Amino acid sequence: MLAAALVLLPVVTKHALCKLGIETWGVVREMEIPMQSDRQSNCVRRVSITLILGGLYLLIARPVLAQTQDAHPPDLPQMQKKIEQLEQELHDLKQQVAAAAPTTTSDSKSNGQAPAVTPAEKSKSDSTVDFYGYAMLDSGYQFNTNDPNWFDVVRPTKLPSFKGEFAPDGKVFYGVRQTRFGVKAFTPTALGDLKTLFEFELFGTGQEAGQTTFRLRHAYGELGHFGGGQTWSAFMDIDVFPNSLEYWGPNGMVFFRNVQVRWMPVQGESNVVIALERPGASADQGIYSNRIELQGIIPQFKWPDLTGHVRVARKWGYVQVGAIFRKIAWVDTNAAAFNLSGTAYGWGVNTSSNLNLSKNNVAKLQVVYGEGIENYMNDAPVDIGIKNNFSNPVQPIKGVSLPVLGVVAFLDHTWSEHFTTSAGYSLVNIANSNAQLPVAFHQGGYALGNLLYHPTKRVTMGGEFQFGRRLNFTDGFNTNDYRLQVSLKYDWSKGFEY
């Protein structure tokens, strides 16, 4: 009898509880402020009560049935069938509750209640910091020779100026000097975006030329439309640099990282930049370099260099026009009959472009011309040359700004997702002054072609053929340099929000 009663219990309980739930809910509903439709709330509460009592039934019924089985042989197939029916009812009720839950949430929003905020919906900080860099190995073979302090780059100004200067020809080279590390940060503020950049590499120059040592590339920050620090000159266009393995790059390109303050009235793909940059220049004393009268000549820079550019970007690419104006002065500190103090002015116009010739081809072009701007060129010798001025007995020689022409023409081609090629030519031509030495640098050529393989997005490997040429001023000497370079590059980056 007990077993039979237990079997009927869920059926009776279900109808009784449903009726009880309806009556009870009718009273409660009169006391509460309506938050959703009566039909949906009534269903959810009845389903919840039924789930609880149905679960209690399963917990009680199964032990009791087991005890009854010992006293009287039960109808096991019928009991098993009833249990399966109950489990199916529980499953159906759970599905009804799950289906009703989204409606309840939607109703709470429509009644003005704030919904629960999930972790994914929480607002994230807009401030970010990114660490990045790469490890890079350069190796290759040079068929001729150049200045050993520049063993792993192609610089026409560092090729021999006379036969046998850097003999012998032919050598293998290895280096990791292109390896780089950088940190950049971004924070939005009420005054505009705050951006900072710090970056260094291992390529020694100046007194550390030829060494693998830390070298600062960028130390720069900007807030809104104003910036300051060391970064790319406003006169140059870094986007002209080809996708090459060789480090130094096209010699006819304007390429200079300089200390500056800048104003950016127009920002974005099309932009306008005006900057005041740290001045500096170099001079060639030519055939008078050993004269004692020139030993007391001291450079003087009273004004910063004024630079800027305007870029107009479109779907087909962009065109950028840059300009520079600078004053270069020197003072004669010697107590002599001559007065060799002087002033020269430098100026230049730099026109550059990236043209999207097709989906897989980008032409990188630049033409620059000016006087006394060699300091801003990627590989040009001196800004000031010496010139005879015999008609003036007090100043028989004087310094003059040297005119310079630079040309860059490269094509970057994408073969597929994993293969790319870059090829092109660059030129620098100097209009020398009449008192420079016959071996003075006059013209340099630079060319390369490569095939690069990218097995993954952050790995580059490949081979490159490189060419360099130097032509002297008046002695007729010229020399060529040929190289094969193989490089491996492994990029990495990690960003954080704070």
- Domain limit, last residue, from 63, 82, 110: 110
Is residue 13 over pLDDT 70?
no
**243 and 97 inside one domain:** no
**DSSP one-letter string for 172-206:** EEEE-TT-EEEEEEEEEETTEEEEEEEEEEEE--G
**Helices within 33-187 (DSSP H only):** 38-71, 76-110
**How many angstroms separate the CA atoms of 359 and 355, rounded?**
11
Are 175 and 212 in contact, with CB atoms under 8 Å apart? yes
Question: Has residue 121 been placed in a domain?
Answer: no
Beta strands 361-371 and 403-414 are antiparallel
Is the same domain home to 132 and 99? no
Answer yes or no: is pLDDT of 8 > 90: no
The residue-averaged pLDDT of 390-404 equals 95
pLDDT band per the 50, 70, 90 thresholds, residue 300: very high
Inform me whether the pLDDT recorded for 166 exceeds 90: yes
Contact 424, 250 (CB under 8 A): yes
Does residue 218 form part of some domain? Answer: no
Better pLDDT: 18 or 315:
315
| pLDDT value, residue 32 | 42
Q: Are residues 138 and 77 in the same domain?
A: no
> Average pLDDT over the chain, rounded to whole?
85
* Statement: residue 14 has pLDDT above 50: no
Domain shared by 352 and 284, yes or no: yes
The residues, any chain, with a CB within 8 Å of residue 277's CB and separated by 6 or more, are 233, 234, 258, 259, 260, 304, 305, 306, 307
324: helix, coil or strand?
Answer: strand
Using an 8 Å Cβ cutoff, are 154 and 145 in contact? no
Q: What is the pTM of this model?
A: 0.75
Express as a percent the part of the chain with pLDDT over 90: 72
List strand residue ranges (DSSP E) for 316-383, in order. Answer: 317-332, 342-358, 361-371
- Is 284 found in the same domain as 354? yes
CA distance 127 to 184: 11
Surface-to-core class of residue 49, CB atoms within 10 Å of its CB (0-12 exposed, 13-18 middle, 19+ buried):
middle
Q: Are residues 134 and 66 in the same domain?
A: no
For residue 439, what are its two tokens?
């071996």
Give the tens place of pLDDT for each residue, 464-497.
999 999 999 999 999 999 999 999 999 999 999 9
301 and 430 together in one domain: yes
- pLDDT at residue 125, rounded to an integer: 66
Q: Strand 171-175 and strand 342-358: pairing?
A: unpaired
Residues 42 and 134 in one domain: no
Is 120 domain-assigned? no
Task: Work out how many domains the chain is built from and give that number.
Answer: 2
Task: Give backbone dihedrals phi and psi of 92, rounded to 5 degrees, phi first.
Answer: -65, -40
Whether residue 151 is found in the same domain as residue 73:
no
Q: What is the pLDDT of residue 97?
A: 64
Would you state the pLDDT for residue 28? Answer: 34
What residues make up the domain containing 24? 2-110
Q: Can you give the pLDDT at residue 50?
A: 54
